[in-house]
Amino acid sequence: MNRPGQPTHHSAWPWPIERAQYNCRPELDEWERGALGRLPHPRRGTSKKGEGIYSHSSLTRLVQPLHDVLDVIGTTGPRTGTLSVLLGEMQRRESAFWAWSEPQWIVTIGTNRHAFTARHHMTASATRQQIFAVGYLLCGVRALAEIKG
């Protein structure tokens, strides 16, 4: 007899994000490049009020999957740090996050808190954990051994 919450042989755990619902094109189009170029430099996300700068219609394809992951993991606080870092990295790499290799994700997440802070000029609070969740749920990043506290 199975206890509540214990998986059975007949049930499969559903992945919380369906990647097929998104446009996973790795290249940025000219509108996305232009919108990314107009964003301010990455900054620590301390206010939900600042999230509006990421709502430009040209960025919807890139931002909506990020919001979906943040919803799935129960993010209730500001998202500006996570959006700022990921959109800044897309601008830097001139590609959507869908195109990033696992080593590129590791650089973005940082092998430790100090590496994250040095690259993004913000403390490695919940932002770093949220970015790892995006990489894991949307892009299959599994490099747990390379990412330390």
118 found inside a domain: yes
Q: What is the mean pLDDT of the chain?
A: 86
88 found inside a domain: yes
13 found inside a domain: no
Give the contacts of 99 (CB within 8 A, at least 6 positions apart).
Answer: 26, 27, 93
Q: Which of 136, 129, 43 is nearest to 81 (CA)?
A: 43
63-122 pLDDT per residue, tens = 999 999 999 999 998 899 999 999 999 999 999 999 999 999 999 999 999 999 999 998
The tally of domains found in the chain comes to 1
DSSP structural state of residue 45: -
66 found inside a domain: yes
With beta carbons less than 8 A apart as the criterion, state whether 36 and 28 touch: yes
122 found inside a domain: yes
Map residue 46 onto helix, strand or coil: coil
6 found inside a domain: no
92 found inside a domain: yes
Give the contacts of 21 (CB within 8 A, at least 6 positions apart).
Answer: none
Domain limits for position 118: 19-40+56-146
5 found inside a domain: no
